[in-house]
Structure 1
Amino acid sequence: MKTMDKWTHAGSLEALKQQRSIVIKGGIAVFYHEDNVYAVDNRCPHLGFPLHMGSLCEGILTCHWHHARFDVCSGGTLDPWADDVSSHEVLCADGEIWVNPLPKNAYNREKYMARLQEGLEQNIGIVIAKAVVGLMESGVAAPEIARAGIAFGVQYGTGWGADLTILTAMTRILPKLDKDAQILALYHGLHQVARNRSSRAERHLLTPLPASEVTEERLIAWYRNCLEVRDTQGAQRVLLTAIRRGFTHERIMEMMLLAVTDHFYLDGGHTLDFHNKAFEALALADPSEQERILTSLVPLLGNPTRSEELHQWQSPVNLVEPLKQAFLSLEQLNSLHDARALSREEEERLLKLLLGDQPLETIQAITDLLTDGCSPVQIAQFVALAAAERICRFHTQNDFGDWIAVLHTFTYAHAVHEILNRSRHPLLLRAVYYGAVSLYLDRFLNVPAAPKPKPKAGIDPLNASGLLDIMDKRQQVNEASDWVAGFLQAGGEPSKLINALGHALLREDAEFHSFQMLEAAIAEYERWDSASGESAERAKQTLLFAATRYLAAHAPTPRDLPRNAKIAWRLHKGEKLFEES
């Protein structure tokens, strides 16, 4: 006889026969059916509706809210979108019923990881959400959870896309978020991957070229030449050959980015931004995924828009030829490792030019700074800062769709800044110029310029959630930035504000660009946070204002997607989602 010390008494068998179902301590539903007693968690694993209010027929328990069906004995569901319900062992002794409060089908780390894989394969949001919660609560590191999504994402579909970019971006900002937001961030990223990849065919890799004595320089030239004529199959074989030959990570990155920057501002900046995110994903993924991650980028160069072919890059001011002339001088730069910092005067002049309307003067100024030995990383940082300032000055009288234009320039400039922190190849500096020209082309979106934030009075510096209240209303762009100004002026911790911005994003059915915006702003903020002085403080405020304004412009949404993660978290904690009146 099993000891009953830790079991829960569920009353008499005779009483259960009369009532057919009861709910006992711990939220467990106990049923009498076909001369047997069964016990399951009373909360439907779909959305938490009380299962004792359902019906039980021929061994199938049906929740009448969305008609999810469960095997009352095992808890297994016939409807995978609902997930399995926990079942409990039952004993009847001397006419009394005892229920083990611990579920029979308890999960461990391995089971949660298997469920995550199933959720990704079948695109079941609630299963993904529960797996994330369970893994986090089991002590599994967030990057390990993200790793499963990256591996799944690069295995299926046609190549790298917005979904994998979101997952990578959200994984990178996790240290800035509290636990609830971390769960939401991972869920958003993994859900995006599942939604875009679950029904796709597996992506098969080509084989590398046969072994030969071809040099590294020749392989790099072949890769660039293949993509010059949009030959993605040839490029993939060359890339795989370079990987198998043992090219260093930096060398492979340079080879691929040289091809990206051989043409101007490809696909509105997305091509280079996606490359940067894929390189960041390499640091999260298992080393065995290197080939799949890197080759997933090659299709992006099959037919991208080349901005030098666009009218606005050639007229009324021809920007293409001056850029080509500037690039000739880059080839003369032998080393970028011993660069000097910009002076305060150079910083101010560069920022003014970047936000001005003299593109040829801006191009020449960048060239002069580089040839004079100034830090290309710092120049790239100021291009990103100027792009953030464009967002701060974006007037709400503009067409709503134009938010995307200033967003693209900012996230592109951020990607360039990140890349130049990892590589010093002179020709990659072409990307800095592309960002500067895009900034120039965005100039009319700051005419008229939005008013500068006016610090709101009476802000509690210990509570950043007031920002979320403002974003519950549509188009509170200036109001939200005024609140942030007041919060910072009152001495509020920027870390609390960043966490609040994370919640502002993650509680929404956010679109791709909003994820890009927050991650890029946080990353740029961190770069400036390591500096000191008045310029750094102004730059950090600019980045916070930019993120706030963009997110406020795109809120609120129906907020349907994050609900799964919240339900999964509450179910895991044993909360009741519905109460009887």
Structure 2
Amino acid sequence: MKEWICAGDLVELKEKGHKVVEGILVIHHEGEVVALDNRCPHMGFPLHMGSLCDGILTCHWHHARFDVKSGGTLDPWADDATTYPVEVRDGEVWVLPVPRREGGVEEWKRRLRKGLEQNLSLVIAKAVVGLVHKGVPAEEIARIGVEFGTTHRRGGWRSGLTILTAMMNVLPKLDETGRILALYQGLVHVAREAAGAGTRFLQRPLPVEGNSMERLAGWYRRCLEVRDTAGAERVLLTAIRDGATERQLADMMMTAVTDHFYMNGGHALDFHNKAFEMLAHVGEGLRNRVLTSLLPQMADAVRSEELHSWQSPVDLVTPLETVFAEGLTGPPPGKEEPVDEEALLELILSDRPLEMIDAMAAALKKGLSPVSLARLVALAAAERIARFHVQNDFSDWITALHTFTHAHAVHESLRRSPTPELTRAVFHGAVSVYLDRFLNVPAARLPQVEEDVRGRPGDLRELLDIMEKQQQVKEAAEWVAGYLSRGGEKGALFQTLGHALLREDAEFHTFQMFEAALVEHDRWAEVDSPLSRRAQDTLIIALTRYLAAHAPTAREMAQTAHIALRLHRGEKLFEDSEASA
């Protein structure tokens, strides 16, 4: 239990006006004695260097204003100041260094919601730090962001919620600071995207129950075929109310997404997959808001079968439609035949698309599972990034990235629900890999990752130092290849790559790349095959090259988060001085 501390003689305090004792600012003003934390709750500037007039204490750094009695701020971006009990005993001033109001979990949650509403990065950072240090599960923190993001953006699900979901998926790969940065970055992107974007109001389900899921799924599919997102929303809400399972909802929605080819450059399917992944984190209670938030994008989604590049000089649409019409099912049990996955991978990476389409369909008929085929296509897409030549236009990194994240989303979605309709998207992704082939002409040389027990793996700080300079793509990849060849521990490497991402003001696609590469790596690590080692190395090299290509940045967001961490730990961001209040 903390003891009262003496702040000196009352008469002396009246003469000087204030005194700082053990980090507490004791003030005599208008005949009363009050005590506040001397650190401005905004960014820690010493409040005794501020100005006091008419009961308002103003910090001189960003001009945050505080009611000197209660500590309450007139500027919500600054947070309320902490106040302490004061007593005057026999002419002496005593202060109890125990805050009058201790910020609990609900208070931190309230501040997080306020930070999201006002799009205030520092307030969001402080709230995330406070909640994590209170032991609040990441799922509870993310749920606040999901509720906000699916309500306060009329345009529905986009990059902000996708980033937040991706960061939730990789939290186990990160240390505590990394987890704080990941949650903070995701929530900030949700807030930024929702700022001024309007409120989304939900419709009601159809008034009468009793329609089968088959009928509702058919209605939903036809509504989206003609871009009737309002009708689709009402059907979807009806299916949820009537007790549709997660699998039924996924099948209904993914079938409609894959009725057309590679919609919105792969984002449509990727966003759908992320929405279902987020529901796995925050619970089915948010199904209405989360799943309906996917519909606004479908109103004007680009359908790739209508694009010139998919029709000429090679007609890629007709062969796909032919294969789909013939069916994408496997052989009867016991009739499976072996498939050479390495040869199929090389064909997916070739410039022979018609042969590729036929070979993929044949592999399914021999018994290769849709999930395994999707994993191969995702690996081929990662290989495009691993061999992306820096002589290409810089923006084409994102072209290759779109194919990879779409292929990853297809892979993860098929693990959830392996339907013939969704399997069509594996072929869509493979065609996109083919269309990206010129991004590997010339192809960047892959660094060799071979067994080499000589020497130590190297200090991972060296990798971070390499990424302090722009366009160290080759150098970073070679360093990582050497680290792996000398037996470097992958968990520590992934954690370091996480810090390489989260210290930057990264844009949307870089977050996608980080999450997709790590998840695909782990999927291959579950496979016992000669291809598995090559696949894991390719994914790590692809990720490293992409991160190195997009660093460094101004790092404003990480700076804000570190300020919040230091304030939470009670550190002094500024040294005290003798300036008067």
Q: TM-score range by the shorter chain?
A: over 0.9
List per-residue Cα deviations over 1:511-540 (Å, max 9, x = no partner): 111111111111111112223454222211
- Pair 563,459 (structure 1): closer, same or farther in 2 beyond 3 Å: farther
Give the letter for the 2:485 counterpart.
Q
2:247 to 225, 245, 250: 250
1:418 matched to 2:397: no
Deviations 1:50-76 (A, max 9, x none): 221111111111111111111122221
Number of the residue aligned with 1:68: 64
1:177-200, Cα deviation, whole Å (9 max, x unpaired): 000010111111111112222534
Aligned mate of 2:366, from 351, 364, 372: 372
Cα 1:29/1:533, change in 2 over 3 Å: farther
Which letter maps to 1:441?
L
Supply the AA of the counterpart residue of 1:390.
R
Read off the aligned partner of 1:427 and give its amino acid letter.
E
- 8 Å CA contact 2:2–2:96 kept in 1: the answer is no
Q: Deviations over 1:292-351 (max 9, x none)?
A: 1111111121111110111111111110101111111226x27899996964xx111111
**Residue equivalent to 1:291:** 288
Bigger mean CA deviation after superposition, 566-575 or 206-215: 206-215
Select 1:77's aligned residue among 73, 77, 92.
73
Structure 1 residues 35 and 96: CA distance shift in structure 2, 3 A: same
- Hey, what does 1:145 align to over in structure 2? 141
RMSD: 2.2
The corresponding residue for 2:303 is 306
Is the Cα–Cα contact under 8 Å of residues 449 and 537 in structure 2 kept in the other structure?
A: no
1:454 is displaced (CA, Å) by 5.8
Alignment correspondent of 2:489: 493
Unaligned runs of 5+ in 1: none
167-176 or 268-277, which deviates more: 167-176
Work out the CA distance in 2 between the residues paired with 1:550 and 1:295: 32
Higher deviation after alignment, 476-485 or 279-288: 279-288
Of 530, 536, 544, the residue aligned with 2:532 is 536
Deviation at 1:128, TM superposition (A): 1.5
Distance in 2 separating the partners of 1:87 and 1:175: 38
Paired with 1:446 and 1:122, the residues of 2 have a C-alpha distance of 44
Which residue identity does 1:181 align to in structure 2? Answer: G
Equivalent pair of 2:157/2:271 in contact (CA under 8 Å): yes
Distance 2:332 2:308 in 1: 33
Change (3 A) 1:505 1:382: same
Equivalent runs, 1:36-435 vs 2, <5 Å: 36-158=32-154, 159-211=156-208, 213-330=210-327, 333=329, 343=339, 346-435=340-429
Query: Does the C-alpha gap of structure 1 residues 46 and 313 become closer, same or farther in structure 2, counting only changes over 3 Å?
Result: same
For 1:125 and 1:73, how far apart are their aligned partners in 2? 28
CA 342–402 in structure 1, closer or farther in 2 if over 3 Å, else same = farther
Q: After superposition, where does 1:487-526 map in structure 2 within 5 Å? A: 487-526=483-522
**1:14 to partner: Cα distance:** 3.2
Higher mean displacement: 528-537 or 555-564: 528-537
Contact persistence 2:331–2:367 (CA under 8 A): no
Q: Structure 2 CA distance, aligned partners of 1:347 and 1:478?
A: 28
Instruction: Name which of structure 1's ranges 454-463 and 8-17 shifts more when overlaid on structure 2.
Output: 454-463
Q: What CA distance in whole angstroms lies between the structure 1 residues aligned with 2:406 and 2:313?
A: 24
Is this contact kept in 2: 1:398–1:445, CA < 8 A?
yes
Do 1:340 and 1:375's aligned partners in 2 also have CA atoms closer than 8 Å?
no
1:438 aligns with 2:435: no
Q: Secondary structure at the match of 1:570?
A: helix
1:206: how far off? 1.4
Cα distance change on mapping 1:509 and 1:336 into 2, 3 Å:
farther
Quote the sequence identity (%).
Answer: 58
One-letter code aligned to 1:417: H
Note if contact 1:54-1:64 (Cα within 8 Å) is conserved in structure 2.
yes
The C-alpha deviation readout for 1:70-97, integer Å capped at 9, x for no partner, is: 1122221111112222122222222322
Evaluate the alpha carbon distance shift between residue 408 and residue 178 of structure 1 in structure 2; reply closer, same or farther with a 3 A threshold: same
8 Å CA contact 1:404, 1:513 repeated in 2: yes
State the Cα deviation string for residues 339-395 of structure 1 (Å, max 9, x = none).
96964xx11111101111111111111000011121111110011111111111011
Instruction: Give CA-to-partner distance per residue, 1:482-514, whole Å, 9 cap, x none.
Output: 111122223221111111111111111111111
- Evaluate the alpha carbon distance shift between residue 349 and residue 571 of structure 1 in structure 2; reply closer, same or farther with a 3 A threshold: same
CA distance in 1: counterparts of 2:342 and 2:84, whole angstroms: 68
Normalised TM-score (structure 2):
0.94
Q: Give the drift of 1:136.
A: 0.9
- State which drifts further: 138-147 or 89-98: 89-98
In 2, the alpha carbon distance for the partners of 1:377 and 1:337 equals 17
Which letter does structure 2 place at the counterpart of 1:42?
Answer: N
8 Å contact kept, 2:480–2:541: yes
Give the counterpart letter for 1:300 in structure 2: Q
Report the AA paired with residue 366 of structure 2: D
8 A contact 1:337–1:424 mirrored in 2: no
Are 2:444 and 1:450 equivalent residues in the alignment?
Answer: yes
Query: CA, structure 1 residues 99+267, in 2 after alignment: closer, same or farther (shift >3 Å)?
Result: same
What's the TM-score once normalised by structure 1's chain length? Answer: 0.94
Question: Deviation at 1:459?
Answer: 8.3
Q: CA deviation at 1:40?
A: 1.7
Q: Which stretch of the first structure deviates more once superposed, 221-230 or 453-462? A: 453-462
User: Residue type matched to 1:405 in 2?
Assistant: T
1:41 deviation in Å?
1.7
Conservation of the 8 A alpha-carbon contact between 1:459 and 1:483: no
Residues 325 and 125 from structure 1, CA distance in 2 versus in 1: closer, same or farther, beyond 3 angstroms?
same
Structure 1 Cα separation of the partners of residues 331 and 367 of structure 2: 9
Q: Which runs of 5+ in 2 are unaligned?
A: none
